[in-house]
A and B are shown apart, each in its own frame.
Chain A
């Protein structure tokens, strides 16, 4: 079973200054506390955690704290880094060179060509036992940090490979910890982003209502996220119907087309999708509240929450 090694702590640790001043000591303490939770969380999901030597007791995992055992920082592995531009030559050059000693090699491809995740996946699919990277990948720590491990893990799952990882629905906690540490994680970041399961296009909403796998690479719950409908320029009648139903409104069929037209006009005029409040106002403007029936329902798991992209627009 492949091992995915998270380097986040080491990457953070090397940018922390030595604790000479009072302020720096406080920063180090905050980091040690943060690191303790990070290690526990990563272990809970099944990742291997690379721990900086100075932190091995200060922020060891619960098990390590109990036993007092000091885990080896890297184990008997030689790290193969770089290889950023090896995509075209992976099959013919890179893999053949290391295949014979793969059981001692920890692959940590760089991301200068935007291919780190792909290279890590190729390595593991070939039978390489271990890759190193970090949660969030180069978007958080720069191109030398290695692949984004959450992308590698989900890609392997999609290929039917057992990674031994569990509890990936805890990934939003990892996102929260990284945010707490000062990182800005894009809402559209693959696997981690809060809006990666927001859907607006009429074709996609219709498809997901019929069968979610048609337009989703994996169920959102797998990574602790939810899908939600956003209405806007690209919505269709089904989107309007489902969105209204999730907000507790049952629209007359005849009204859907009219409301859709208004939704599209408003979205285009404000160059942005609609907020929930805007959509509700629009439904009420077209059809007075007393003419609508109210009953909040769930529609094929399509949550009615508005993507945060539009929240500020209400």
Chain B
């Protein structure tokens, strides 16, 4: 039975949701709790944000017994050098793959992006860290563009790519096809789903069904806009659907979310964590 490997990004993408600003001590505490729950990889932050963030990531690395720590980086050599200061197990490079991201945001060409990827991947690997590559806005890239990017990453020695559904536009059938195609290029696949259409959990499950081994989650499903794939909801759904196993037990994940929610300012949590009971029990028309 294939095992789903959880990559939790609460401390990076989750914290980017407006309203959250985790103090260093809280980030370290949350990382320890995720580690104890069996999360395999914790995306601890963005070293390029500054010295405080770097110090926190270093402390997280020391605090976690088994989870591997990764850092998130733009496709810039300077970002990778900041990551070196944190000695992470994994250096993650974010590589835009859609035409609109490349032309309208980076204002460059696909060839330039792939050249930067090669340089940054080589630099990141030079200190012994595992390198993973995230295909930003993958749901707006064509299959050929995804294939080309995956092959380029493979040539750089990268063995795992992240399929990032940046604005949550994937449907289950499309994510299934994208994962199958990427698997054919010989890379491991990680799914990063957003919940803009309420399909983050379903798209993540479908990616697993198509052969993705790694799934990105956040506590309570926090994240930009409508959030990311929630750890407790995903593990519960994966357990119901079967065919796979997961190192993070669904009940433990729910307990973790309940406990961790008490550590945050309540106004930050307001609106997140419906599955913990928030919102249920309302009495229509005061009944």
User: Could you say which residues of chain A place their CB within 8 Å of the CB of B127?
Assistant: none
- Kindly report which residue of chain B lies nearest to residue A208, judged by CB atoms: B105
Closest CB in chain A relative to B72 CB, distance in Å = 10
Query: Would A188 and B271 count as touching, CB distance under 8 A?
Result: yes
Q: Which residue of A lies closest to B280 (CB)?
A: A142
Which of A53-61, A72-80, A111-119, A166-174 binds B? A111-119
User: Nearest chain B CB to A80's CB is how many angstroms away?
Assistant: 18
Please give the distance in Å from A178's CB to the nearest CB on chain B. Answer: 9
Q: Cα distance A92–B181 when bound, in Å? A: 19
Contact A158 B202 (CB under 8 A): no
Option from B22, B172, B265 in Cβ contact (under 8 Å) with A122: B172
Contact among B205, B225, B243, B267 for A309, CB-based, below 8 A: B267
User: Across the interface, do B284 and A182 meet the contact criterion of CB distance under 8 Å?
Assistant: yes
Contact with A along B6-17 (1 / 0, CB 8 A): 000000000111
Q: Is the CB of A188 within 8 A of B197?
A: no
The stretch of B34-42, B63-71, B233-241 in contact with A is B233-241
Interface flag for A162 (CB, 8 Å): no
B100 is an interface residue with CB less than 8 A from chain A: yes
Q: How far is the CB of A158 from chain B (nearest CB, A)?
A: 5
Shortest Cβ distance from residue B219 to the other chain A in the assembled complex, whole angstroms: 14
0/1 string, A183-202, CB within 8 A of B gives 1: 11111111101011111110
- The 5 residue pairs across chains A and B that have the minimum distance between CB atoms: A118-B202, A309-B19, A151-B198, A190-B226, A233-B21
- A154–B197 contact, CB under 8 A? yes
List of A residues within 8 angstroms of B233 by Cβ = 114
Decide if B196 touches A272 in the complex (CB within 8 Å).
no
> Distance (Å) between the CB of A90 and the closest chain B CB?
8
Q: Mark B205-236, 1 if CB is under 8 A from A, else 0.
A: 11001000000000000001111000001101
- The interface stretch among A211-219, A276-284, A287-295 is A211-219
Known: A121-B199, A200-B18. A271 touches B279 (CB 8 A): no
The 27 sampled A-B contact pairs (Cβ below 8 Å) are A12-B285, A15-B284, A16-B287, A27-B286, A30-B285, A31-B285, A84-B240, A87-B172, A113-B236, A115-B205, A121-B171, A121-B199, A140-B282, A186-B272, A188-B227, A190-B226, A195-B18, A195-B19, A213-B100, A213-B167, A216-B167, A216-B225, A217-B196, A234-B15, A268-B52, A273-B20, A309-B271
A187 touches B101 (CB 8 A): no
Chain A interface: which size bin? 35 or more
Contact with B along A233-270 (1 / 0, CB 8 A): 11000000000000000000000000000001001111
Closest residue on chain B to residue A150 by CB atoms: B198
Q: Are A272 and B268 in contact (CB under 8 A)?
A: yes
- Write out the residue numbers on chain B whose beta carbons fall within 8 Å of the beta carbon of A312: 267
Residues B18 and A199 in contact, CB atoms below 8 Å apart: yes
Q: Is A310 an interface residue (CB 8 A)?
A: yes
CB of A130 closer than 8 Å to a CB of B:
no
Does B152 sit within 8 A of A, measured CB to CB? no
> Nearest chain A CB to B130's CB is how many angstroms away?
24
- Which residues B180-203 have CB closer than 8 A to chain A? 195-199, 201-203
Q: Which of A115, A140, A191, A230 contacts B197 (CB 8 A)?
A: A191
| In the complex, A304 has a CB within 8 A of chain B | no
Contact of A88 among B137, B166, B243 (CB under 8 A): B243
Given contact pairs A113-B236, A155-B199, A181-B285, enumerate 14 new A-B contacts (beta carbons under 8 Å): A88-B205, A117-B198, A125-B173, A190-B168, A191-B226, A196-B225, A201-B224, A214-B137, A215-B166, A232-B20, A233-B21, A269-B23, A271-B23, A272-B20
